[in-house]
C-alpha cells in the first residue's frame, strides 16, 4: 500500500510540474497577440451540390486527395464513393455490418476503409482487377467499436476505438503494429499530422493526446474540455490541434507551447460538436453540431462569422477538400451537401 | 490481484507524466505569432475565406450564354 501512496503523490507532483511549466511559457495569449487583427468578414457559403442516395443516417465522410471524390458511410449499410462535381455514385459498396461509424479514403485513392459496432476495420480495394470492389482485409483485434480510422498509406492505417486504444495496423498482414494505450475513456476521433509522423486522438476522458507514431508513445495530453471530445483535427501547419466536444465548445491547443490557446464558444450554442474541419489557411474553423447547423469561426479571433444551415437533422461529419475549394457536410437526414 | 494491477497501472501513469513533463516548450507569444503568420501567408489561397469566382468554381453549374 505504501508504494501506491508514493505513486499517487508522484503523479500529483508531476501534474503540478506540467501546469507550472505551461504557465511559465504563457507570456501572452492568442487573444492579445491577435488584438490588432481584423475579424474576418461574414462568411456565406452556398450549397452547390446535394448528394442523394443514402437511405439512412450518414455517420461519416472523408474526401479523397484529388478534391473531387469522397466516400460516405451510412447505417443503411453502404459505403458510397461520390464524384462531388457530377454527383454521380462511382461505387456503392454493400457492407457486412450496417452499424458503421467511420470511413476513410486512402491518400492514393486506391482503398477505402470503414468500421463501427463490428469492432473491425474493413479495407476495400477500389481498383481491383475485375472492377468489383471487394473486402481486402478485415482488421480485427479491438474489443470495442471502431470510432475513426485514417490511412497513412496503402499499407498502414490507424484506428481509434471504444476500447480506449488507438492502433497502427499493417494492412498487408492484417496485424497490429502498435497499440497506443493511455486514454481512460472511449477514443472517439483521430487526425494524422501533415508530415504523417504524429497523430492526435480525442476521447471520452475529455482529453486529447498527441502520439509519436514511430516512437510509439504519447508525447502530450491536453485537458480543459468538460465533456467527451467527439472531433479532432490538425491546424494545417501541424503545429496546433483543434478539438470539438459534447460541452458545445471547440478548443485550439498549440503543440509547441503545450497549452490551450483559445476556446470557441457562444452562450447561444448549447449543442455538442460532432465534427470539425479547418479551412485551407486555417483561418476558418467549421464545426458541425447536434442542432443541425455548422458554425463557422474566425480561428484567430474566436468570433462566429457564419452558419451553414441546410440539413434537417444532426450534422454528423464535415470535411474540407485538400485544395480547400469546398466543404462537405454529412447528416442524419441522409444527405451530403457540398458548400462554397 | 487487482492491487498489483493498480500499482502497475499507476507506475505507467507516472512514467507517462514524466515524459509529458519533460518536453520542450516555446512561448505562447511565439506560437501565436507563427499561427497568425501562417494564416496571413495562406489567406489568398484559401477559397472558402476569399470566395471563389464562378468561372473558377468547379461546383457551380455554369449557365450557358444564350445569344439572342
Q: Rounded to 5 degrees, what angle do the CA atoms A172, A230, B23 make?
A: 75
User: Is pLDDT at B1 greater than 60 in this prediction?
Assistant: no
Touching check for A284 and chain B: CB below 8 Å? Answer: yes
Residues of B in contact with A318 (CB under 8 A): none
pLDDT digits (tens, 9 = 90+) for A128-146: 888 889 999 999 999 999 9
Kindly provide the b/e burial profile for residues A241-271, where b requires at least 16 CB atoms within 10 angstroms of the residue's own CB.
Answer: bbbbbbbbbbbbbbbbbbbbbbebeeeebeb
Which pLDDT band, with edges at 50, 70 and 90, does B5 fall under?
confident
pLDDT digits (tens, 9 = 90+) for A151-201: 999 999 999 999 999 999 999 999 999 999 999 999 999 999 999 999 999
Helix B2-21 vs helix A2-24: crossing angle, to nearest 10? 20
Q: What is the mean pLDDT of chain A?
A: 97
User: Is pLDDT at A308 greater than 90 in this prediction?
Assistant: yes
pLDDT (average), residues A95-107: 97
Which of B3, B29, B52 is the closest to A325 by Cβ? B52
pLDDT (average), residues A102-126: 98
* CA-only gyration radius of chain B, Å: 27
Query: Coil, strand, or helix at residue B64?
Result: coil
pLDDT at A2: 87
Which pLDDT band, with edges at 50, 70 and 90, does B68 fall under?
low
Q: Determine whether the interchain pair A320/B48 forms a contact, defined as Cβ–Cβ distance below 8 Å.
A: yes
Which pLDDT band, with edges at 50, 70 and 90, does B66 fall under?
low
Residues of B in contact with A48 (CB under 8 A): 57, 59-60
Which of B19, B32, B57 is the closest to A217 by Cβ? B19
pLDDT at B17: 97
Hey, of B48, B55, B62, which one would you mutate to test binding to chain A, going by the most A CBs within 10 A of its CB? B48
Residues of A in contact with B10 (CB under 8 A): 4, 7-8, 11
Q: What is the mean pLDDT of chain B?
A: 90
CB-CB neighbours of B24 under 10 Å? 7
Q: Determine whether the interchain pair B20/A218 forms a contact, defined as Cβ–Cβ distance below 8 Å.
A: yes
Phi, psi of B65 (to 5 degrees): -85, 130
User: Is pLDDT at B65 greater than 70 in this prediction?
Assistant: no
Contact A227, A206 (CB under 8 A): yes
A202 - beta bridge partners? Answer: A189, A208
pLDDT (average), residues B29-47: 97
Distance of CA B32 to the CA centre of its chain: 13
Cell for A264? 470557441
pLDDT at A1: 63
Q: Determine whether the interchain pair A284/B46 forms a contact, defined as Cβ–Cβ distance below 8 Å.
A: yes
Touching check for A27 and chain B: CB below 8 Å? Answer: yes
What's the rounded Cα separation, in Å, for the pair B52 and A325? 8
Q: Determine whether the interchain pair A25/B32 forms a contact, defined as Cβ–Cβ distance below 8 Å.
A: no
Distance from CA of A138 to the nearest CA of B (A): 31
Amino acid at each position: 500500500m505504501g508504494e501506491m501512496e508514493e505513486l499517487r503523490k508522484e503523479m500529483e507532483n508531476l501534474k503540478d510540474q506540467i501546469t507550472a511549466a505551461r504557465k511559465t511559457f504563457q507570456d501572452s495569449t492568442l487573444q492579445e497577440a491577435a488584438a490588432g487583427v481584423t475579424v474576418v468578414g461574414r462568411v456565406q457559403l452556398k450549397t452547390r451540390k446535394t448528394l442523394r442516395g443514402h437511405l439512412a443516417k450518414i455517420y461519416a465522410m472523408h474526401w479523397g486527395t484529388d478534391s473531387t471524390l469522397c466516400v460516405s458511410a451510412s447505417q443503411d449499410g453502404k459505403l458510397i464513393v461520390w464524384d462531388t462535381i457530377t454527383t454521380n455514385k462511382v461505387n456503392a459498396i454493400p457492407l457486412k455490418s450496417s452499424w458503421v461509424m467511420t470511413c476513410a479514403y486512402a491518400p492514393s485513392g486506391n482503398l477505402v476503409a470503414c468500421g463501427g459496432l463490428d469492432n473491425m476495420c474493413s479495407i476495400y480495394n477500389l481498383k481491383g482487377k475485375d472492377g468489383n470492389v471487394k473486402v481486402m482485409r478485415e482488421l480485427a483485434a479491438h474489443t470495442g467499436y471502431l470510432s475513426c480510422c485514417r490511412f497513412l498509406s496503402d499499407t498502414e492505417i490507424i484506428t481509434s476505438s471504444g476500447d480506449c486504444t488507438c492502433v497502427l495496423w499493417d494492412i498487408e498482414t492484417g496485424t497490429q503494429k502498435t497499440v497506443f494505450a493511455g486514454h481512460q475513456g472511449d477514443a472517439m476521433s483521430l487526425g494524422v499530422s501533415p508530415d504523417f509522423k504524429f497523430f492526435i486522438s480525442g476521447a471520452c476522458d475529455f482529453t486529447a493526446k498527441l502520439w509519436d507514431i514511430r516512437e510509439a508513445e504519447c508525447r502530450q495530453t491536453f485537458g480543459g474540455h468538460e465533456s467527451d471530445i467527439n472531433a479532432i483535427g490538425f491546424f494545417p501547419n501541424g503545429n496546433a490541434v483543434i478539438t470539438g466536444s459534447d460541452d458545445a465548445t471547440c478548443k485550439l491547443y498549440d503543440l509547441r507551447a503545450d497549452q490551450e490557446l483559445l476556446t470557441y464558444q457562444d452562450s447561444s450554442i448549447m449543442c455538442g460538436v460532432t465534427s470539425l474541419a479547418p479551412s485551407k489557411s486555417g483561418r476558418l474553423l467549421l464545426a458541425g453540431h447536434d442542432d443541425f447547423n455548422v458554425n463557422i469561426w474566425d480561428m484567430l479571433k474566436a468570433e462566429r462569422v457564419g452558419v451553414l444551415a441546410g440539413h434537417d437533422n444532426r450534422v454528423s461529419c464535415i470535411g474540407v477538400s485538400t485544395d480547400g475549394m469546398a466543404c462537405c457536410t454529412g447528416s442524419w437526414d441522409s444527405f451530403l451537401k457540398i458548400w462554397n | 490481484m487487482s492491487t498489483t494491477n493498480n500499482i502497475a497501472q499507476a507506475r505507467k501513469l507516472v512514467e507517462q507524466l514524466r515524459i509529458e513533463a519533460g518536453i520542450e516548450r516555446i512561448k505562447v507569444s511565439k506560437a501565436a505569432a507563427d499561427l497568425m503568420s501562417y494564416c496571413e501567408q495562406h489567406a489568398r489561397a484559401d477559397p472558402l475565406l476569399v470566395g471563389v469566382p464562378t468561372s473558377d468554381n468547379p461546383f457551380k453549374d455554369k449557365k450557358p450564354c444564350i445569344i439572342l
